[in-house]
Amino acid sequence: MVTLIIGKKGSGKTKRLIQLANEAVAKSSGNVVVIEKGAKLTYDVTHKARLIDTDVYGVHGYDMLLGFLSGICAGNYDVTDIFVDSTFKICPDGVDGIENFVTRLHDLSEESEANITLLVSSNEAELPAGLKAVCQEI
């Protein structure tokens, strides 16, 4: 399952991600992964989750992020949840290409049986209509 947590900058998306990630770790019998741009969540997310800074691996754009997430799922068969903070900072194309990315991400989620949550700095009106079903606005 793919979920987009949407809202404008400063609306509390990252706080919600921290809460969801920590809850997922408590419930999960597998691995929880949190992807971020820059190492800013180190002290907020439990040490039991795997924190990954995309800057360290040069991840930039939707195709690279999809490949990166695919590699995580391929390398660990027991990943149950993946959270991506600041999606538009990692993928500066923003709204352009996000619908195709989410469609491809849905296929990865189904194949790997991992729940994938993206934080998107946008409101529902700015996103393609095809994504409204997977959005949770903050």
Can you point out the beta strands (E) in the chain?
Answer: 2-7, 31-36, 50-53, 79-84, 115-121, 135-137
Give CA–CA dist 76/101, Å, rounded.
22
Structurally, the chain folds into a number of domains equal to 1
CATH number of the domain residue 86 falls in:
3.40.50.300
- pLDDT tens, the chain, 138 aa long: 999 998 888 888 899 999 999 999 999 999 999 999 988 888 889 899 999 999 999 999 999 999 999 999 999 889 999 999 999 999 998 889 999 999 999 999 999 999 999 999 888 888 888 887 787 776
Domain that holds residue 51: 2-133
**138 in a domain, yes or no?**
no
pLDDT at 42: 83
In a domain, 65, yes or no: yes
Task: Quote the CA–CA distance of 120 and 49 in Å, as a whole number.
Answer: 21
Amino acid 63: pLDDT: 95
Gap between the Cα atoms of 134 and 51, Å rounded? 24
Q: pTM of the prediction?
A: 0.92
The pLDDT score that the predictor gives to residue 9 is 85
pLDDT at 138: 65
Can you read off the two tokens belonging to residue 56? 């360290």
Task: Give per-residue pLDDT as tens, 22-51.
Answer: 999 999 999 999 999 988 888 889 899 999
